[in-house]
């Protein structure tokens, strides 16, 4: 299985789906982008919540057709446990889905493209800030 060079957070995935120029250029340059499973869940939830459920769900499906889903194996679970424990002890918690996103990236050796600053509290996470 080939490793993806970078993974996308939900906000970057939405930018790609919506055709934002900056996101689109990076997206086209990559062969297989990793989409952590919580990101897909958030995208599908957003599509279901929207006024154009079928259209937006189809846009998510098209996006995923050229991506690789980052699942949840034992390595991801171990990363998650360590991250959550450390963030809790530091008193710097982040949203639960984002801990899972970081864990998927770390377990897969993928660089995370995100617009969220709270990932700054995870120094071992290789990141690209897309702002």
Go through the domains of the chain in sequence order and give each one's CATH number: 6-129 (3.40.50.1010)
As a whole-number percent, the residues of the chain with pLDDT over 70 amount to 87
Q: Helices H, strands E: what count in the chain?
A: 6, 5
CB-neighbour burial class of residue 122 (10 A; exposed 0-12, middle 13-18, buried 19+): buried
User: Which one has a higher pLDDT value, 118 or 42?
Assistant: 42
As a whole-number percent, the residues of the chain with pLDDT over 90 amount to 74
Looking at every residue in the chain, the average pLDDT score rounds to 89
**Cα distances (Å, whole numbers) of residue 55 to 33, 37, 51, 61, 97:** 22, 21, 9, 10, 25
Query: Could you report the per-residue pLDDT of 57-66, keeping only the tens digit for each?
Result: 999 999 999 8
The β-bridge partners of 114 are 129
């Amino acid at each position: 299985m080939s490793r993806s060079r970078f993974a996308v957070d939900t906000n970057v995935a939405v930018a790609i789906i919506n055709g934002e120029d900056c996101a689109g250029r990076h997206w086209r340059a990559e062969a297989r982008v990793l989409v952590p499973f919580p990101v897909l869940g958030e995208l599908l939830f957003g599509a279901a919540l929207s006024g154009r459920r079928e259209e937006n769900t189809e846009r998510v499906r098209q996006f995923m057709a050229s991506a690789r889903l980052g699942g949840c194996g034992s390595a991801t679970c171990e990363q998650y446990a360590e991250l959550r424990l450390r963030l809790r002890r530091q008193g710097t918690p982040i949203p639960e889905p984002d801990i899972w996103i970081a864990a998927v990236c770390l377990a897969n050796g993928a660089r995370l493209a995100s617009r969220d600053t709270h990932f700054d509290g995870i120094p071992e996470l290789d990141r690209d800030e897309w702002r």
